[in-house]
Amino acid sequence: MDDSLYDEFGNYIGPDIESDQDHDSDADIPSDNDSDKPPSDNDDAPSTAAGPTNGWMTTANDDTNDVDMAENQVVLAEDKKYYPTAEEVYGDDVETLVMDEDELPLEQPIIKPVKTLKFELGVKDSSTYVSTQFLLGLMSNPNLVRNVALVGHLHHGKTLFMDMLVEQTHHISTFDTKNERHMRYTDTRVDEQERRISIKSVPMSLVLEDSNSKSFLINIMDAPGHVNFSDEMSAALRLADGAVLVVDAAEGVMANTERAIRHAILERLPIVVVINKVDRLITELKLPPKDAYHKLRHTLEIINNHITAASSTAGDVQLIDPAAGNVCFASATAGWSFTLQSFAKLYVKLHGVPFDASKFASRLWGDMYYHPDSRTFKRKPPATGAERSFVQFILEPLYKIYSQVIGEHRKSVEATLAELGVTLSNAAYRLNVRPLLRLACSSVFGTATGFTDMLVHHVPCGKEASSKKVDHIYTGPKDSEIYQSMENCDSSGPLMVNITKLYPKSDCSVFDAFGRVYSGVIQTGQTVRVLGEGYSPEDEEDMTVKEVTKLWVYQARYRIPISKAPPGSWVLIEGVDASIMKTATLCNVDVDEDVYICRPLQFNTLSVVKTATEPLNPSELPKMVEGLRKISKSYPLAITKVEESGEHTILGTGELYLDSIMKDLRELYSEVEVKVADPVVSFCETVVESSSMKCFAETPNKKNKITMIAEPLERGLAEDIENGVVSIDWPRKKLGDFFQTKYDWDLLAARSIWAFGPDKQVKSFLILHNFQIWRTGYGVAV
């Protein structure tokens, strides 16, 4: 080939070549022998090719010519094929998408990484001192199960008390000796650890031994103590059979302590008390033992006063008395707890004298004095003078341990602990004061056997509590088969599960439902009906059919998978949350009789703080709306709605409540940046005296006229309505007799009541009767 006819890129640069477009010739196709020659001007033979010629490159039908042409034609660099196409790699059955190189911004990756939301804390080692099979065996026996809620005021030590129980049942240490910080095991959220307060109620199922070394399964729900999160306390008390009231020994009864007492009695639950942080009386207030006793006694008297005031409308409730065994003294930071009964057994063990520990414990509280000459207890102090038995036998040894350990005098500490039958190693005395104090106290007082005894004797088991519990929460008739099965905690009866809490998954896309089984057995793979709060046998719209995919025993930072859950147990359920907004009732698909729902939660606070929100990018509005729906699921008392103006508003109990909601909305549930308006507090009008003039309204046809006046209700009537003492669902005769006998109403007026307020769940009530509106002194204006 003559190189002068072609440039360095293979392009022909020789003289112009004449071509005859009217006559196609085979001569135009160069052969193998003369392929290096340019086409001749005299090649005018007739063409037999099927296509036109273009210089020396032609298109032929002959396959051989096609191969020759493919080998000889020139391909530009930009047209060369270096890699196979996506269709050639993945095949025709895979959808492929080709995008321009500048389609996405530089900071956004072409393939997004899998995003994991880090909002919960896990635990690597979840091993316990008992096997999982043993725990499940206890769960199958309702007589060995106790369901309690840990309630109380903010920073009174509920979570640290749970840490003490977890440390005694798990192979972990909940106290960091180096940094002297507690683990706060049941504060599973990252923001809970950062704020140092509990936000969500978290359950744990612990196997605890009593003083007789008998094991019980204690289901404990650690509820928040902040008043803004009292809705979580309401959800916890609905599932429990008893309330454990935690009170700070130094601060005493606070606002939320009183609120917890009222709500526990409203749920008809027995109350036991844990006087926590007793060591604050020693180390902070520096009270003498005698004054510390009076401080503790005064706290218990105030608690009993609140119980008496609240139980006047909700039935009789047992009062708090340490001699009866329903009071536990503790210091969660130091890792010890005891009741009078467990302390008496400690004396029996130390001295080896066979005497009745229960009788000794009954003399360790109140104005009881020990007379050493006659070796008896009397209400009159001895002539030589002595302190009360509680001070002499309990507080003085406790003060002695604290003073000597804090004083860091090793010999005196060794002597005191030796009197109590405890010997520590040499390495223990090289610890700092707080770790040494924890070790010494836990060695003296042992595990929380006294706390377990208190729950076993004063909180009914799941089977015993079912009758009172079902009577309070079930809305169906008492003569039905379902009611009888729930009352007897029957495992062979129809399935009935009350859902009160929803916990988000790790990706926050769906929720797991947490509830209590009242009858029947729920199993994985079972198809159930999910009855919402708006369901009734007459209106079945709020009902869906779902399949239970997984079941767990919820253990705060980890989960124990199970295949079935018997009645009386708490269980975490996957696959049924789609139609649940707040609470729900699960039952079998095929039930022969009408199924009624469990009552919605009753709250002791109102959502009075409102704020409006909108996304910064208007196109992300659907994401924000979906996030608001998940917020409503996660927070029991949160209300999300759209105003007439189009604003999306959120109602909560306070600023801290709304702050937690907005954090979850931005980071977990919608992942969009939103703008928030200033919070607005709702206010109510009131009625202090009868209206001076009548208000009337006419019907559109001017034929009927309704006249109304407003007056305040009698004192105590609003409380009776709130506590469920009287119900609008009662028969007319029963309702009239109630108002006639208790409030001295006219019989005709008492039997002419139309309604209690616009809604059964509101806290302010209107009583409509005889064409008049009667209203509470703190009711809303209508």
Cβ(265)–Cβ(307) below 8 Å: yes
Count CA within 13 A, CB hemisphere, residue 771. Answer: 9
Give 34-70 pLDDT, tens digit per residue: 444 444 444 444 444 444 444 444 444 455 555 556 5
**How far, rounded to the nearest angstrom, does the alpha carbon of residue 753 sit from its chain's CA centroid?**
40
User: With bands split at pLDDT 50, 70 and 90, how would you rate the model's confidence at 14?
Assistant: confident
Which pLDDT score, from 0 to 100, does residue 69 have? 60
CATH class for the region spanning 695-775: alpha beta
Which pLDDT score, from 0 to 100, does residue 313 have? 56
Which CATH number is associated with domain 132-456? 3.40.50.300
Hey, is 556 helix, strand or coil? coil
Q: Reply yes or no on domain 609-681 having CATH 3.30.70.870.
A: yes
Give 131-188 pLDDT, tens digit per residue: 999 999 999 999 999 999 999 999 999 999 999 999 999 999 888 877 788 999 999 9
Question: Does pLDDT of 130 surpass 70?
Answer: yes
What mean pLDDT do residues 775-779 have?
35
Read off the tokens for 375: 């070796």
Picking from 71-85, 162-176, 200-214, which range would have the lowest pLDDT averaged per residue?
Answer: 71-85
- Nearest one of 776, 637, 782 to 719, comparing CA atoms: 776
- In eight-state DSSP terms, residue 627 is H
Read off the tokens for 483: 């009611």
Which pLDDT score, from 0 to 100, does residue 65 have? 57
Spatial neighbors of 311 by CB under 8 A, at least 6 apart, are: 265, 317
Say if strands 242-248 and 271-276 run parallel, antiparallel, or are unpaired. parallel
Spatial neighbors of 197 by CB under 8 A, at least 6 apart, are: 154, 155, 224, 225, 226
Rounded Cα distance between 517 and 219, Å, is 13
Q: Work out the percent of the chain whose per-residue pLDDT is above 70.
A: 88
Q: Euclidean distance between the first and final Cα of the chain, in Å? A: 104
107 or 45, which is more confident:
107
Cβ(275)–Cβ(330) below 8 Å: yes
> What average pLDDT is seen over the chain?
85
Question: Does pLDDT of 27 surpass 60?
Answer: no
Distances from the Cα of 414 to the Cα of 419, 432, 562, 636, angstroms: 9, 16, 48, 52
Question: Does pLDDT of 25 surpass 60?
Answer: no
Which pLDDT score, from 0 to 100, does residue 768 have? 56
| 3-state SS track over 311-353 | HCCCCCCCCCCHHHCCEEEEECCCCEEECHHHHHHHHHHHHCC
Rounded Cα distance between 648 and 659, Å, is 16
Q: Does the fold of domain 609-681 match that of domain 132-456?
A: no
Give 394-432 pLDDT, tens digit per residue: 999 999 999 999 987 888 899 989 988 889 999 999 888
Rounded Cα distance between 484 and 584, Å, is 20
Which pLDDT score, from 0 to 100, does residue 777 have? 35
Hey, is 720 helix, strand or coil? helix
352 or 27, which is more confident:
352
Read off the tokens for 210: 């009593």
Question: Does pLDDT of 334 surpass 90?
Answer: yes
Tokens 């400690």 correspond to what residue?
Answer: 346
Q: What are phi and psi of 438, to 5 degrees?
A: -60, -45
What mean pLDDT do residues 713-726 have?
79
Give 424-477 pLDDT, tens digit per residue: 999 999 888 989 999 999 899 989 999 999 999 999 998 899 988 999 999 999
Distances from the Cα of 656 to the Cα of 609, 679, 684, angstroms: 10, 11, 22
Picking from 294-298, 384-388, 653-657, which range would have the lowest pLDDT averaged per residue?
Answer: 384-388
User: With bands split at pLDDT 50, 70 and 90, how would you rate the model's confidence at 760?
Assistant: low
Rounded Cα distance between 248 and 652, Å, is 28
pTM: 0.79
**How far, rounded to the nearest angstrom, does the alpha carbon of residue 16 sit from its chain's CA centroid?**
87
Hey, is 659 helix, strand or coil? helix
**How far, rounded to the nearest angstrom, does the alpha carbon of residue 566 sit from its chain's CA centroid?**
22
How many residues in total does the chain contain? Answer: 782
Bridge partners (DSSP) listed for residue 513: 502, 573
Domain residue ranges in the chain: 1-100, 132-456, 475-588, 609-681, 695-775
Fold classified for 475-588: Elongation Factor Tu (Ef-tu); domain 3 (2.40.30)
Read off the tokens for 77: 């660099």
